[in-house]
Amino acid sequence: MPNTRVIYWFRTDLRLHDSPALQAALGLHPEAFWPVWTWDPHYVYRARVGVNRWQFLTDCQNDLSKSITKLNKKSKLFLMREAPQTLFPKLFKAWKITHLVFEKDTDAYARDRDANVIKAAEEAGVQVIVRSGRTLWDSDLLVEKNHGKPTMSISQVQNAGPKIGLIPRPIPAPKSLPDPGPTNLDFKQDEPDQRPDFNGKSRQSADKSYEKIAGPKGDFAVPTLEELGFPSATSAHRGGETIGLKILDNIISDETYTATFEKPKTSPAAFDPQATTLLSPHLHFGSLSIREFYWRVQDIVTTFKGKASQPPVSLTGQLLFRDMYFGAQAKLGYSFGQTMYNSHCRFIPWHLPSKVNHETKLVTGEYHIDSTEAEEWFQRWKWGRTGFPWIDALMRQLRKDGWIHHLGRHAVACFLTRGGCYVSWERGAEVFEEWLLDHETASNAGNWQWLSCTAFFAQFYRCYSPVAFPKKWDKEGAFVRKYVPELKNLDDKYIYEPWTAPLANQKKAGVKIQGNGSEDVQGVYPKPMFDFGERRTVCLDGMKKAYQVGLYGDDAKVIDGSWRKLFDDHGEGPTEGESFEDAMGPSAGSEDKIREGPEHGFDDDGAIEEDESGAKEIGGESKGGEKRGSKRKAGQKTLDAHFKKLKTG
């Protein structure tokens, strides 16, 4: 096509191999071709992104830029520091663009952003080309083939996907790239709105990444952590297409591992190396193509002489779960990431519920502290100071490394929600959003709903014991000793329940089991923050009641607050005290309404949760011996600021 001048807009596809959108762009045979990334203030300020994920992203960008330059010495990744909604209309004019090409993104914010950019392109006479490539099947088509409904089970994906067609084979990376045209930026930069800054507490200094549109040297360089005001990253896991493909090659080289992989049989206590692939961050940023992953694995499974594993537990099964969550989000939009106004999320009267703007029907990013006790539990959970070594080791690993094993994620999520603290899954999802390298908006929200039994999964009576469960994988406690070094010399017998260790054993190990973890004292590890057996019973009672009531996030009683009248003293959390029968009548709630119920007992990647109902109850201290949290007094500060200052592990 003569005289085509193309911007290729990189987003979550930071690679050259198997990119349908990039192939479409190059198929235009442009006379000028600009690979572009826009430094979107939404993600810098309004998305929770920890330092380790920033490092992984910039790794991917730098690696991609080098790969582009290898194909064309005149080219690179042209990173510009402005919101795409305001930048592109100016670029279209300045660079005389004829086409804008990008990979489809069905995240709720991305849909709004892209709609604005497409509108601006149409007004400028620029043709827009969009191709799907982030998932195995186009998420919107998956919903369409699922009778227009969100995909809420693996079988729905397995039924709907083939109706779209076979998963396409990956396409090779280009061998050359056209020259870019002039990169003049003779227009005024639109400065971003920096408030609210959800990442402000993590910055050591002010964010300077927007001081110049093309970077400090005007060379379109990738921002540094220092520019963003962040400290150095702590994770050893690095990003980039080069690394992602190398990891995949190493996995594929072991055909038996690849063909017989069963995720529930991999150890959550394994480290150096971990028991799973650790390719999920590469799938998120697109430094590895999902189709490349799928077909490299599937080809080995097809020719494997032995008995190969099958979905949902196999490697390809993990990709189906990812498509399932993407399909659910594609249909439900913003509401998928919250309880309120979510038609497929059960309403549970969790502690620390989100604040909601009822005009926009969206959560505000803040939450109500209805219980000071629950707030303390949440902060101790977040910073790895619960007094339960298994939980604390996992949360410290998450913070330091940006990753934890899937069964570890299950354990900490169950503990925070239905298996201990009875705190809203949205609080946990926010922590994962900040600290996970592989955070996907769809998968994160979906997994938390699954593990809290508010959607996808309903067997709430199956819980993970923070003592019995890890003993099945790591009796000696090597994982705990690594991430909770206070306990590194404790006898194996006490490693998962150190509060039972006699004082003589504590002294021998150089540790004191005392306090609540609010002070960072060397050689001290806190007592458990509650009696797990007692809390598990309280949570189960609350879940039973919530399931009996049968409300969902979009029900009128949830929205207007009258849900309180439906919960008696069997429900955890504050209520108005009116019994369910008095409010609804004796026959109400006799049949639980399940709008899109789970059809099997598998969790999010095929593992069967352990029923720990017979586990030994463990001792702890609750404030005043109360089972239920009390309401927060006006003006009372939370422990967040204090715990944030503590250095763990």
Q: Cα(568)–Cα(572) distance, rounded to whole angstroms?
A: 9
Is 406:610 a contact under the CB 8 Å cutoff? no
Check whether 437 is labelled as a binding-site residue.
no
Element (H, E) at 80: strand 78-80
The residues, ordered by sequence, that sit 6+ positions from 188 with a Cβ below 8 Å of its Cβ are none
Question: Given the structure tokens 């090409």, which residue do they identify?
Answer: 101
Q: Cα(151)–Cα(163) distance, rounded to whole angstroms?
A: 14
* Amino acid of residue 452: S
Report how far Cα 21 is from the mean position of its chain's Cα atoms: 25
Which token pair is 394? 């996992």
Which stretches does DSSP call E strand in 226-347? Answer: none
| Among 190, 585, 610, CA closest to 390 | 610
Q: Cα(84)–Cα(278) distance, rounded to whole angstroms?
A: 31
Element (H, E) at 367: strand 362-367
Alpha helix positions (H), 304-371: 315-332
* Amino acid of residue 247: I
Check whether 364 is labelled as a binding-site residue.
no
* Amino acid of residue 9: W
Q: Cα(100)–Cα(5) distance, rounded to whole angstroms?
A: 9
Q: Are strands 127-131 and 354-357 parallel, antiparallel or unpaired?
A: unpaired
Check whether 276 is labelled as a binding-site residue.
yes
Q: Cα(58)–Cα(228) distance, rounded to whole angstroms?
A: 11
Q: Cα(398)–Cα(394) distance, rounded to whole angstroms?
A: 6
Check whether 225 is labelled as a binding-site residue.
no
Check whether 303 is labelled as a binding-site residue.
no
Residues annotated in the binding site for FAD, as ranges?
A: 276-280
Residues annotated in the binding site, as ranges?
A: 276-280
